[in-house]
Amino acid sequence: MRRSPLGAAVASDIRRREKADPEYRKVRARFARAEAVARLLIQFRMKHNLTQEQLAQLMGTSAPAISRIESGTHVPSLTTLSRLAEAAGERLVIGFEKPNAASRKGDRTLVAV
């Protein structure tokens, strides 16, 4: 029944397991940041039409390092994220915002690094 890692069947299975298993919830919460960064990196790489090997070469790192970040189990350093942005001729922007304030710009502070 699983369609893909991004498919609805997988997402519903995750929700069901999170509801039923407190330990599973803890593990998911522990990896939430790493998974968010992984999704961002994959989208970034696809936007720039790069393979893991090509991106690694532009950044001066290895393809396994890119793979490790994309696995969703490793949060890269700020230095690594900055090198990623530089490789694509973009800026890394980080910031703070109050919970549930995504639609109110006054509650968000961003800085390009």
Secondary structure (H, E, C), 7-50: CHHHHHHHHHHHHHCHHHHHHHHHHHHHHHHHHHHHHHHHHCCC
Has residue 93 got a pLDDT over 80? yes
* Band (1; pLDDT cuts 50, 70, 90): very low
Domain positions in the chain are 8-112
pLDDT at 14 over 70: yes
Q: Is the pLDDT of residue 103 over 90?
A: no
Q: Which CATH superfamily is domain 8-112 in?
A: lambda repressor-like DNA-binding domains (1.10.260.40)
Residues contacting residue 104 through CB under 8 Å, at least 6 positions apart? none
